Chains A and B, each alone.
Chain A
């Protein structure tokens, strides 16, 4: 095991620097798509203080869950057995997360003088729950689908799944925030 890990590390070190720079930059450039969405709706987004306060945590949360889901799917021994256990573990964690984000961002916005209306609060709660649950469910199905595709094509999911799903989760969440700023609030 240690020998194979050492081999893997040696192999990783042998990658030329330009390849490392180019691949990291390409994946990160994809996440600029989410930034384009935010920049396009900045005028509408700025007055929505609770949404701005919660934006980084929503983004990080979905990205973290995408990594956790992809990491579990990538382990061939764990795949069939742990899917249900993972869904159960994540659903408990998501409830804690959503409650925390909603409570903290509402409290901070209220403390900073944001004028809450009943309808805004309702929309904010529905958006937060819908966006997180929707994105994580989508990540589950996407990971399951990509895992099958990679398996059929004899590609190692460990190499591809995490970068693909984390970048997609970034774009998805920032897209949801931009869409909500225009159409929901």
Chain B
């Protein structure tokens, strides 16, 4: 009798362990597949938008080369706008999450204005660093480079920050996590907008 009970218990335990490992195996397979799928989908989107940015870069390459120092600033603009737009998306999402009773419009306007001010201040510093390098090694004009940096940061910011804010609201409305989705979307959009806006800024300054 005792042996029978013991055998039953052992059998139950074994079944439970088997189920556990089966569940774990399936879960791990699913999570790996999901991450592969997510990475591939995000990257396909990035490649398409970034190649369009490349096409635009090819269109405006002569004006970029003609403006001494513009190519030095381009990676700085992409880097700055990318990090600030990413931070803005996360900030808006977390502020809405933490303060559900607070007016969403106020959060959006406050965060976007804050991001725009920070982007102009950081743009000024990066513009000065780039301008000094340009003036010393590439016969560029320091003040023109600072002006180009500030104008481009303003133009990119005015377009990309409201887009990021809208994307956060759209993803939240669709019950998706904006922290996972805004990043890939904004990084490729920043690429495209930076190239378009730096060319526009060169035309305005010329």
Residues of A within 8 A of B (CB): 5-6, 9, 17, 20-22, 24-25, 27-29, 31-32, 34-36, 38-39, 42-43, 46, 49, 52-57, 59-61, 63-64, 67-68, 85-86, 88-90, 92-93, 96-97, 100-101, 104-105, 108, 112, 166-167, 170, 174
Contacts and interface: CB of A to CB of B under 8 A. Distances in A.
A100 B46 CA distance: 10
A165 to B, nearest CB: 13
A170 B184 CA distance: 16
B39 A34 contact: no
Contacts of A104: 47-48, 51
A32 to B, nearest CB: 5
B157 to A, nearest CB: 13
A17 B120 CA distance: 13
Interface stretch (B9-17, B100-108, B126-134, B163-171): B126-134
A3 to B, nearest CB: 11
B89 interface: no
Interface of B: 28, 32, 35-36, 39-40, 42-44, 46-48, 50-51, 53-55, 57-58, 61-62, 65, 69, 71-76, 78-80, 83-84, 94, 98, 118, 121-122, 125-126, 129-130, 133-134, 137-138, 183-184, 187-188, 191-192, 195
B118 A105 contact: no
Q: Is the interface of A mostly helix, strand, loop or mixed?
A: helix
B83 A24 contact: yes
Given A28-B83, A32-B76, A53 B47 contact: no
B39 to A, nearest CB: 4
Nearest to B77: A28
A39 B79 contact: no
A158 to B, nearest CB: 14
Contacts of B191: 56-57, 59-60
B75 A32 contact: yes
Q: Is the interface of B mostly helix, strand, loop or mixed?
A: helix
A46 B65 CA distance: 9
Query: What 3 A-B pairs are tightest by C-beta distance, nearest first?
Result: A57-B50, A25-B125, A53-B54
B47 A108 contact: no
Interface centre among B46, B54, B80 (most CB of A within 10 A): B54
Contact of A38 (B40, B42, B74, B98): B74
A105 B133 CA distance: 31
Given A25-B122, A39-B138, A101 B51 contact: yes
B55 A108 contact: yes
B35 A42 contact: no
B47 A27 contact: no
A122 B35 CA distance: 32
B83 A64 contact: no
A96 B178 CA distance: 25
Contacts of B62: 46
Given A28-B80, A61-B46, A36 B39 contact: no
A163 B160 CA distance: 21
A28 B48 CA distance: 25
B36 A93 contact: yes
B12 to A, nearest CB: 29
Contact of B73 (A5, A35, A112, A166): A35
